[in-house]
Copies of this chain bind each other. A is one copy, B any other.
Amino acid sequence: MAKSRVLVVGTGGIGTMAAYALEKGGLAEATAVMRSNYDAAIKNGIDIDSVQWGQVKAWRPTAITKNVPDVSKGDVAPFDYILVTTKNIPDVPPTVADIISPAVTPGKTAIVLSQNGINIEKPLIARFPTTPVISSVAYTGATETAHAKIYNDDPDCQKIGAFTSPQVPAATAAEAAKRYVNIYNPTGTLDVLYDADVAKVRWRKIAYNGSMNPIASILRMDTPRMRMSRHIIDDLIIPIILEVRAIAEASGVTLQSDLVDVVIHQDPSDTGFKPSMCQDLEKGNLMEIENLVGEPVREAERLGVPAPTLKIVYGILKGLQLRVKEEKGLWEAKFQSGNSYE
The residues of A with any CB-CB pair to B shorter than 8 Å are 215, 218-221, 224-233, 235-236, 239, 261, 264-272, 308-309, 311-316, 318-320, 322-323, 326, 333-342
Contact residues in B for A215 (Cβ distance below 8 Å): 316, 319
A336 and B219 form a contact (CB under 8 A)? no
**14 sampled A-B residue pairs with Cβ under 8 A:** A228-B333, A229-B319, A231-B315, A235-B311, A264-B341, A266-B339, A269-B339, A270-B335, A270-B336, A270-B338, A271-B335, A272-B335, A312-B312, A316-B316
Partner of A236, one of B267, B308, B312: B312
* Complex partner residue of A339 from B265, B319, B336, CB under 8 angstroms: B265
Majority secondary structure of chain A interface residues (helix, strand, loop or mixed): helix
Contacts A224-B335, A231-B315; is A219 near B269 (CB within 8 Å)?
A: no
Q: How far is the CA of A50 from the CA of B102 in the complex (A)?
A: 65
Question: Given that A218-B218, A220-B323, A236-B315 are contacting pairs, would A269 and B228 also be in contact in the complex, using a CB cutoff of 8 Å?
Answer: no
Most chain B C-beta atoms within 10 Å of own C-beta, residue among A218, A225, A266, A271 = A225
Complex interface: chain B residues within 8 A of A227 (CB): 341-342
Closest 8 CB pairs of A and B: A235-B315, A308-B308, A265-B339, A219-B319, A270-B337, A312-B312, A236-B315, A232-B319
19 additional contacts (CB under 8 A) given A225-B322, A228-B342: A215-B319, A218-B218, A218-B319, A219-B316, A221-B319, A224-B333, A225-B326, A225-B333, A226-B319, A227-B342, A231-B315, A232-B319, A235-B318, A261-B341, A264-B341, A268-B338, A269-B336, A308-B309, A309-B312
Q: Nearest Cβ distance between residue A236 and chain B, in whole angstroms?
A: 5
> How far, in Å, is A275 (CB) from chain B's closest CB?
14
Bound complex: CA A323 to CA B282 (Å): 15
Q: Which residue in chain B gives the minimum CB-CB distance to A240?
A: B312
| Selected contact of A269 from candidates B225, B264, B311, B340, CB within 8 Å | B340
CA A201 to CA B309, docked complex, whole Å? 30
Judge whether A334 and B268 touch: CB under 8 Å: no
Which chain B residue lies CB-closest to A227?
Answer: B341
CA distance A315 to B268 in the complex (A): 23
- A271 contacts across to B, CB distance below 8 A: 335
The docked-state distance in angstroms from the alpha carbon of A271 to that of B335 is 7
Return the chain B residue nearest A224 by Cβ: B335
Q: Report the minimal beta-carbon distance from A211 to chain B, rounded to whole angstroms.
A: 13
Pick the contact of A218: B268, B316, B326, B338 (CB < 8 A). Answer: B316
A336 to B313, CA, bound (A): 29
How far apart are A316's CB and chain B's nearest CB, in angstroms? Answer: 6
Residue of chain B at shortest CB distance from A268 = B339
> Which residues in B have their C-beta under 8 angstroms from that of A315?
231-232, 235-236
Q: Evaluate contact between A341 and B220: CB separation under 8 angstroms.
A: no
Tell me, rounded to whole Å, the shortest Cβ–Cβ distance linking A140 to chain B: 19
Tell me the bound Cα distance from A238 to B255 in angstroms: 34
Residues of B within 8 A of A229 (CB): 318-319, 322
Residues of B within 8 A of A313 (CB): 312
Instruction: Report the nearest B residue to A315, measured CB to CB.
Output: B235
